[in-house]
């Protein structure tokens, strides 16, 4: 199973972070929308915590993105 150290995973997370910033959201704002602590968003963006599929879906909804917007072909 790929880990958080996988280059493709890290690139996907970086695109999520860029999407957050493009929306003008802080980590605190996103955490509030997800009903999570700010540290949750920080740990994901710093690749200290791995996202599962359902968590990723929630981030995509918050950022109004499709999965194709963040995945490398």
**pLDDT beyond 70 at 70:** yes
Per-residue pLDDT tens over the stretch 2-60: 577 888 899 999 999 999 999 999 999 999 999 999 999 999 999 999 999 999 999 99
3-state secondary structure 51-71: CCHHHHHHHHHHHCCCHHHCC
| Amino acid 13: pLDDT | 94
| Amino acid 3: pLDDT | 72
Half-sphere exposure of 33 (CA within 13 A, CB side): 16
**pLDDT beyond 80 at 67:** yes
| Amino acid 73: pLDDT | 59
């Amino acid at each position: 199973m790929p880990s958080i150290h996988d280059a493709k995973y890290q690139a996907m997370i970086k695109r999520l972070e860029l999407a957050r910033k493009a929306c003008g959201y802080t980590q605190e704002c996103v955490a509030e929308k997800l009903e999570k602590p700010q540290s949750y968003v920080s740990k994901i963006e710093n690749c200290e915590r791995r996202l599962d599929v359902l968590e990723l879906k929630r981030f995509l909804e918050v950022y109004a993105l499709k999965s194709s917007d963040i995945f490398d072909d």
